[in-house]
Each structure stands twice: as C-alpha cells, then as structure tokens.
Amino acid sequence: MSIIIKTKEQQHQEDLIRLANFRPIDDDFMRVLLKDDLPLAQEILRIILQKDDLVLLSEQTQYDMKRLAGARSLCLDVYATDSKGVKYDIEVQKADYGAAPKRARYHSSAMDIENLKAGQEFEELPVTYTIFITENDVFGGNKEVYRIERINVDMKIPFDDDEHILYVNGAFKGDTEIGRLMQDFMCSNAADMHNERLAEKTRYLKETPKGESEMCKSMEEAMIETRKMEDAIIALKMLEGGKLTFDEIANYSGLTVEEVTALAKDYNLMPV
C-alpha cells in the first residue's frame, strides 16, 4: 500500500477549495463564523426565537461542558448567555442522526449540570434553550421551527420546567425571517445571502487574505482534533480489553501515557 504525502502548498490549495464550498450549516465554518462574534450570534438567536429585545452577554464556540465522572463528554457548537441569565446551546446538524431526540435531551441535561452548583436550590436552575439547526426537515412537517416542550399529559397543561428544545428546519423555504435565514445557512456564496451581517462575515472569511488564513488555521486544528479523537477511540477499546499496560496503549494509539491515564479515569477503567 502506497502512502501519499501532500506538500504544505497542496494541502493549502485543498483547504481553499473546501473553504469555497463551506456554508454556515457546516460545522467547520460555523465555529469560525460565530467565534468571538457576539452581534452575529445575537442576531441569529433573535431571528430564531422572534425576540428582538434579546441581548447576549457572552458566547463561546466549541464549549466543553463539565461532566460527571464516567459520563459521555460533550462539546457545544455555541454556548451563550443573555442579559436575563438564559442559557443557549446552538447545534448545527447536517446528518439527521445527529439531531436525535435523546441527543437533545442529553444536551439539555448537560446544561443543567453545568449551571447548578453544590448547595444551590433546584429553583435556581436557569431557563435553557437547546437549539438544533438541521439541514433536513427531520420531522417531515414542513414547519420552520419545531418547538419541543414538556407537558402534564393528564391535565393537558405545560410542565413549566423552563427547559426548551427547538429544531430549526434548514430545508424550510418559506418567505419568513426564519425561512430566509435558513436559506442563508445553505448558501456558500455571500452574494446570495439575505442577512447582511451573516453575508459580511462570510465574505470576510472567504474573500480576504486574513479571513482565509483564519479559516485554514481552523481547518488544520479541526483535523488535529479529529485525529486525536480517533486515537482516543482506539485507546479506549484497548483499555476496555484490559490486557495492555498504559505504556503499550500509548505506543499503539499515539496518545501520551498521561492522556491514556486521564481517559481511563474518565471512563472508570483504571486497573484495580
């Protein structure tokens, strides 16, 4: 089997081709679109939630959630907080399986764990919104937004737990504010976008040397993260087998001994 080694210039040209085809619905592009861009994140949330007075105080992309020992890790595409303390998790999903109901439930639960410290009362839990922006109409109802809320079934009244889950239908083509935003999310060309703020940021990232440099750097980082994740999956399988030492696992997986040890602790696979 021959191994093809690309030069730095070849890799750069491939990155530029990928960049030209990127749309806001693509993870690698969205993380840079919204990175350190509070006004754009705020505008997207205002449109989706139809709240013109929503004011964001903070937003972070690729936010690592705290978790209980042994629980599955979670990295939010966008994590934001508004002036009323409401918490938002925005996830872009091209594949339908990535927006499964139980995934939405887990994301919502993770925000609860993140925002309730020891000694606090349950009533201090903030209002949360888990928002999936999906490329396809995952429910098939041709609605622009699907709002998921808990209800008291027998009394037919809201449960009022302040947990909200929304699925924004990226395939919706209606002539509404959300419909136009979703059309923009499927565009690779800034000139075809309706939303000027989104078009301006897209134009910067695709059509200026500085923006291209930021995107290429982000793509390189994403590639490294993907390889690291693949190495961690290999190491986890070997840890579960229980036959190899941490040194051997590190040697075979490409992780360091310290990373293998941390992985074993996280998944309760430390040797007895």
Q: Phi/psi at 268 (nearest 5 deg)?
A: 55, 45
pLDDT tens digits, 171-208: 998 999 999 999 999 999 999 999 999 999 999 999 99
Confidence of residue 142 (pLDDT cuts 50, 70, 90): very high
Question: At 272, is the pLDDT very low, low, confident or very high (cuts 50, 70, 90)?
Answer: low
Where do the H-state alpha helices sit in 35-170? 38-49, 101-114
Q: What are the distances in angstroms from CA 252 to CA 226, 240, 260?
A: 17, 15, 11
Q: Check: CB of residue 48 under 8 Å from CB of residue 166.
A: yes
How far is it, in rounded angstroms, from Cα 212 to Cα 238? 39
pLDDT, position 204: 95
Radius of gyration of the chain from Cα atoms?
Answer: 21
Give the pLDDT band of residue 72 (cuts 50, 70, 90): confident
Helix (H, G, I), strand (E, B) or coil at 255: coil
Return the minimum-mean-pLDDT range out of 44-53, 92-101, 133-142: 92-101
Q: d(Cα 19, Cα 14) in Å, to the nearest integer?
A: 9
Using alpha carbons, select from 226, 225, 218 the residue that is nearest to residue 33: 218
Q: Indicate the DSSP class of residue 185.
A: H
Lowest mean pLDDT: which of 95-109, 196-210, 253-267? 253-267
pTM of the model: 0.81
Domain ranges of the chain: 8-207, 211-272
